[in-house]
Chain A
């Protein structure tokens, strides 16, 4: 006996699952409150949800509420006083905050404008299964699974002005090979960006999986109508990738607005905050014993995240079926 059958109250109208299974009625099932769980099973359902709710409350809801509440306080661990909007006012007066905000948005934009289009393009090409596509897919995906810290260490060696590969190659090509890429204010932000915008493995895999789910009949019909491969890619594949492209953009944005480890290891936010991110800025405040201020910065990161989620979901109509 299926769970749906078990949980369905025998004397009332069938729930959505039963309708879907039966597939015989034309009437849209009406959702009636409290009717989907039989009385006898409610306690069991509640109990089974309890561990999840406790974990959610302990590790997400409570910290989140503490963060939001203490963002309005002067709190350094040792002392606590409500401060109203002081933390936010101070943030608006601090040029370092705006530098960190600008850098964070810059990193996020670089991801969206370089990483996603590049990942989609490579994913579409690999989906055509050219010779060696499996090996290529693996090679492209490997950087994605390397830890951010290890990646940062590798790149700090790559950029080292004295012994790094980059300057040595430039020097061998007769170009100036003595620039300190990570600690020169003119190049630091670009050097940091260069370390992550080409990690496209995640987007490639998402795109390839989505392409694999597109019905073959569409391509066959297009082919019969005389559509070229390029036309099939641009008129069928690309539009049908809308959902997954939106998802990839959203994930990249959410990862990048919280960027910390890469920058912390590469430059610690310097020189002169040229590479600092909001997360790093909040961390410094925390180290300085200004926990309330750090949480105010944290709440700004959350707010930006929420705005991005809503915007990207709307623009890409994520979740809406295409076919």
Chain B
């Protein structure tokens, strides 16, 4: 073959290979068998994350149920679970116009991602299908809504987050029931400390923040701060509710009611003392049962003598609890057939059968109203469902600071909280710096 001929042949071969590799010329939304294929970035198998594992199994069921019409294709994604890098990962994909068709984000991430203009608005789909929209609990979309009424995500769960307590340890300390006020809580903590135990286990991150939120949320004006003020105020220290809560939480460390290793941000520092019965209490969500409480890491029979309670109140009868919608399903597709499949997928995931399956697999509670008989038949985790039922009658219900708070809240908290507890700064300085650092997203 002549030299030009060789060049042409080589170029053609390279082009053909490139086209085959990139799929150029084919329709990315249509499989060989004519199904509409959508990608899911949070549906991969996971031996450690029960939510991801449930998503994976649900996607398989969806593929079976919609065989011949729609198909979910799983994308392996290192940022599928909760991680500091997750938001950046999806922002990069949004910039490249390459967001997955379905994936999950939490409320703070959704707030940041809406600025990319690449998220699909589910509001029209919910308006078109009123029956489906009516299945969701009231305020289910509150943390997932955009400034102009857009609904960026379909909630996956609606959980009450309470405080786990060891009934046997409380009994030894002279308490048959979980304290109903913070004063009683501190009396109990003192009694537990005298017996050589740890009253409440914390980690300097998630579990510590939960108690901070509980102390804020159970005061008049507290839920308003957690729902709005946390995102709009220039200095959280100007709110006396926040100051009182912060100082009370700090005092628990000073009084040694909390484990000594409560600042690393490693959740195991909070979970391990509870699981080994060194600590009498720990705050966490309902998933703690399946991921920790019923595993080999827990002391024998610990589950049998564990209770799950809402937070005590500052005054008698004014208890409260954190309510979270957790991660929601979002979509980055703009293709009409892709959107049709996405709508079918999110409706499938929020169906009564699926939310009950999810509840059984993960302990997360349904974001939709479910027939009580079906709930009972599903034999859901009683600790979690009990708290959800109890939450309806509590004085206060409030979101977690990580839901409505600025994206940098967690990083700022982990950095500043140990220094504040050690007396390196006063409450005013701590709260001012926390506000500033959280707003600058991790700086």
Interface on A for B, CB 8 Å cutoff?
A: 77-78, 96, 156, 160-163, 178, 180, 182-185, 268-274, 284-290
Q: A288 touching B442 by the CB < 8 A rule? A: yes
B92, B116, B440: the one within 8 Å of A288 (CB): B440
* Chain A nearest Cβ from B426, distance in angstroms: 13
Q: A156-B264, A289-B91 are in contact. Are A268 and B414 (CB under 8 A)?
A: yes
Q: Does B289 contact A (CB under 8 A)?
A: no
Q: Does B67 contact A (CB under 8 A)?
A: no
B112, B115, B263, B442: the one within 8 Å of A271 (CB): B263
Inter-chain contacts of A274 with B (CB < 8 A): 419
Q: B265 touching A268 by the CB < 8 A rule? A: yes
Q: B411 touching A286 by the CB < 8 A rule? A: no
Inter-chain contacts of A96 with B (CB < 8 A): 443
Inter-chain contacts of B443 with A (CB < 8 A): 96, 284-285, 288, 290
Inter-chain contacts of B425 with A (CB < 8 A): 272
> Please, what's the 1-or-0 string for B80-93, where 1 marks a CB less than 8 Å from any CB in chain A?
00001100100110
User: In the complex, what residue of chain B is closest to A272 when comparing beta carbons?
Assistant: B419
Inter-chain contacts of A286 with B (CB < 8 A): 88
A288 to B443, CA, bound (A): 7
User: In the complex, what residue of chain B is closest to A184 when comparing beta carbons?
Assistant: B422
Q: A156-B264, A289-B441 are in contact. Are A162 and B259 (CB under 8 A)?
A: yes
Number of A-B contacts (CB under 8 A): 90
* Chain A nearest Cβ from B29, distance in angstroms: 26
Inter-chain contacts of B223 with A (CB < 8 A): none
A183, A185, A273: the one within 8 Å of B204 (CB): A183
Interface on B for A, CB 8 Å cutoff?
A: 84-85, 88, 91-92, 95, 112, 115-116, 204, 259-261, 263-266, 269, 273, 407-408, 411, 414-419, 422, 424-425, 440-443
A77, A162, A183: the one within 8 Å of B95 (CB): A77
Q: Contacts A77-B92, A285-B442 given; 17 further ones with Cβ under 8 A?
A: A77-B95, A162-B259, A162-B261, A162-B273, A180-B418, A183-B264, A185-B419, A268-B265, A270-B263, A270-B418, A270-B419, A271-B424, A284-B411, A284-B442, A287-B84, A287-B85, A290-B443
Which residue of B92, B112, B264, B422 has the most chain A CB atoms within 10 A of its CB atom? B264
Q: A180 touching B261 by the CB < 8 A rule? A: yes
A78 to B112, CA, bound (A): 11
Q: A78 touching B419 by the CB < 8 A rule? A: no
Inter-chain contacts of A289 with B (CB < 8 A): 88, 91, 112, 441
A269 to B273, CA, bound (A): 25
* Chain A nearest Cβ from B346, distance in angstroms: 26
Q: B91 touching A77 by the CB < 8 A rule? A: yes
Inter-chain contacts of A160 with B (CB < 8 A): 261, 264, 269
Q: B418 touching A287 by the CB < 8 A rule? A: no
Q: A285-B443, A290-B443 are in contact. Are A273 and B415 (CB under 8 A)?
A: yes
User: In the complex, what residue of chain B is closest to A283 when comparing beta carbons?
Assistant: B442
List the 10 closest pairs (A to B, CB-CB), nearest first.
A288-B441, A272-B419, A271-B418, A183-B263, A270-B415, A183-B418, A161-B260, A288-B442, A271-B419, A162-B261
A286 to B89, CA, bound (A): 12
User: In the complex, what residue of chain B is closest to A286 when comparing beta carbons?
Assistant: B88
* Chain A nearest Cβ from B154, distance in angstroms: 24
A156 to B269, CA, bound (A): 11
* Chain B nearest Cβ from A81, distance in angstroms: 15
Which residue of A162, A183, A268 has the most chain B CB atoms within 10 A of its CB atom? A183
A270 to B415, CA, bound (A): 5
Inter-chain contacts of A270 with B (CB < 8 A): 263, 414-416, 418-419
Inter-chain contacts of B265 with A (CB < 8 A): 268
A96 to B433, CA, bound (A): 12
User: In the complex, what residue of chain B is closest to A294 when comparing beta carbons?
Assistant: B443
* Chain A nearest Cβ from B33, distance in angstroms: 38
Q: List 8 A-B contacts (CB under 8 A).
A: A160-B269, A180-B263, A183-B264, A268-B415, A270-B419, A272-B418, A274-B419, A284-B442
* Chain A nearest Cβ from B326, distance in angstroms: 22
A293 to B238, CA, bound (A): 30
A112 to B410, CA, bound (A): 35
Q: A287 touching B441 by the CB < 8 A rule? A: yes
Which residue of B115, B266, B417, B422 has the most chain A CB atoms within 10 A of its CB atom? B422
A163 to B95, CA, bound (A): 46
Inter-chain contacts of B415 with A (CB < 8 A): 268-273
Inter-chain contacts of B264 with A (CB < 8 A): 156, 160, 182-183
A162 to B198, CA, bound (A): 11
Inter-chain contacts of A162 with B (CB < 8 A): 259-261, 269, 273
User: In the complex, what residue of chain A is closest to B413 when comparing beta carbons?
Assistant: A270
Q: A180 touching B91 by the CB < 8 A rule? A: no
A302 to B213, CA, bound (A): 42
User: In the complex, what residue of chain A is closest to B418 when comparing beta carbons?
Assistant: A271
Q: A185 touching B259 by the CB < 8 A rule? A: no
A272 to B443, CA, bound (A): 12
A119 to B422, CA, bound (A): 37
Inter-chain contacts of B95 with A (CB < 8 A): 77-78
Inter-chain contacts of A183 with B (CB < 8 A): 204, 263-264, 418
* Chain B nearest Cβ from A169, distance in angstroms: 16
* Chain B nearest Cβ from A162, distance in angstroms: 5
A308 to B313, CA, bound (A): 59
* Chain A nearest Cβ from B42, distance in angstroms: 20
* Chain B nearest Cβ from A87, distance in angstroms: 12
* Chain A nearest Cβ from B268, distance in angstroms: 10
A184 to B112, CA, bound (A): 33
A130 to B204, CA, bound (A): 49
Inter-chain contacts of B112 with A (CB < 8 A): 289
B115, B260, B266, B411: the one within 8 Å of A178 (CB): B260
Q: B204 touching A287 by the CB < 8 A rule? A: no
* Chain B nearest Cβ from A93, distance in angstroms: 13
User: In the complex, what residue of chain B is closest to A293 when comparing beta carbons?
Assistant: B443
* Chain B nearest Cβ from A2, distance in angstroms: 32
* Chain B nearest Cβ from A283, distance in angstroms: 9
A285 to B441, CA, bound (A): 8
* Chain A nearest Cβ from B421, distance in angstroms: 9
